[in-house]
Amino acid sequence: MSIATMDLVLVPGGTDLIGSDRHYPEERPAVEVTVTDVWWDRHPVTNEAFARFVADTGHVTVAETAPSAEDLPDADPELLVAGSQVFTQSPGPVDLRDWTQWWRWQPAACWRSPQGPGSRAIPDHPVVHVGWSDAAAYARWAGKELPSEAEWEHAARGGLVGRPFAWGDEMSPGGRVLANTWQGSFPWRSAPADGFHRTSPVGSYPANGYGLVDMIGNVWEWTRTRWTPSHDRRGEDVVPAAPCCGGSVRLAETDRMVTKGGSHLCSPDYCQRYRPAARQGHGANDTTSHVGFRCVRLA
């Protein structure tokens, strides 16, 4: 079985509500959408799968490419080196309004070395430090595409309409941990009962109603939908087959795309985005240690 067809799950289409009128402003208003049947990767793309793609194509990721002074004219020239943003646990409580307290620019951090030089990617963990163009290039190689925001949210809900969480009305029903999210006081105390302080092996938590795993938590996931600050205006879906989406062509530094699902850093006291309705606008060429992706194929 080819990589394009293995481990796919059919999510039936239908009419659903996306967004929320009760949480963050960018999730408003809740709107009705209709999506078609879509075949989904059961889990996010892993380091092992991404390594096969790189071996087959020679693809070089955004994080492995030094930014140019032309793209970033105001940047310190000494920082114009290949690298990526890496989460770093703080030694104690910090001002949660200042994200620089827990993110650092790490030269040479990339999907192969997620924490920087000396670290190694774990084969069954989701690939991270991938830009939008990296995800789109992988999808095209695999004969798939990235999901739209509407497709993603419909699939994440697993058949539950209008519920705050992918599994129902409570974050931890009966005390059960159902996704890889931050447990403890963010960003300095990590006390996960499951033992995962960063990413976790895909499928470590129960599947949703459609049989998909890790739709919530673990890593944020790229979509093919351009970011808009609310659902008042629908974002354009960028089609991976278009010339913009080739493996060597990247969107502009100012372009932002919707990411969904939250990550292992989402916390009740900082980022409550471990919900299907949650969304984030992420710079197309911004790579971090908590953003990955999965692919789809139209039925």
Residue 7, pLDDT score: 84
| Rounded-to-integer distance, Cα 293 and Cα 139, Å | 10
pLDDT tens readout for residues 103-161:
999 999 999 999 999 999 999 999 999 999 999 999 999 999 999 999 999 999 999 98
The amino acid occupying position 95 is: D
Sign of torsion, CA 34 37 43 45?
A: negative
Sequence-ordered list of residues with C-beta below 8 angstroms from that of 183, at least 6 positions apart, any chain? 177, 190, 191, 192, 193
Range from 40-54, 189-203, 238-252 carrying the lowest mean pLDDT: 238-252
SS3 57: helix
pLDDT tens readout for residues 31-82:
999 999 999 999 999 999 999 999 999 999 999 999 877 777 777 787 789 9
Mean pLDDT (the chain) is 91
Residue of 83, 237, 227 lying closest to 245 (CA atoms): 237
pLDDT tens readout for residues 85-114:
999 999 999 999 999 999 999 999 999 999
Residue of 57, 251, 38, 287 lying closest to 145 (CA atoms): 38
Binning pLDDT at 50, 70 and 90, where does residue 235 land? confident
Residue of 265, 288, 105, 129 lying closest to 190 (CA atoms): 265
Residue 240, pLDDT score: 53
Question: Interior CA angle at 181 toward 267 and 184, to 5°?
Answer: 55
- Topology of domain 1-299 in CATH is paralog of FGE (formylglycine-generating enzyme) (3.90.1580)
Residue 1 has pLDDT above 70, yes or no: no
Sole residue written with tokens 């789109």: 136
Does the global pTM surpass 0.75?
yes
Sequence-ordered list of residues with C-beta below 8 angstroms from that of 131, at least 6 positions apart, any chain? 61, 62, 63, 250, 284, 285, 286, 287
Residue 6, pLDDT score: 54
Residue 250, pLDDT score: 56
Listed in order, strand segments (DSSP E) in the chain are 8-11, 14-18, 31-35, 38-41, 83-87, 103-107, 220-226, 256-260, 279-283, 291-292, 296-298
pLDDT tens readout for residues 11-29:
999 999 999 999 999 999 9
Going from N- to C-terminal start, the domains of the chain cover: 1-299
Pairing between strand 83-87 and 14-18? unpaired
Residue 15, pLDDT score: 93
Residue 192, pLDDT score: 78
Q: CA torsion, points 34, 39, 44, 48, in degrees to nearest 10?
A: -160
Residue 247 has pLDDT above 60, yes or no: no
Residue 242 has pLDDT above 50, yes or no: no
Token pair listed for 142:
């695999």
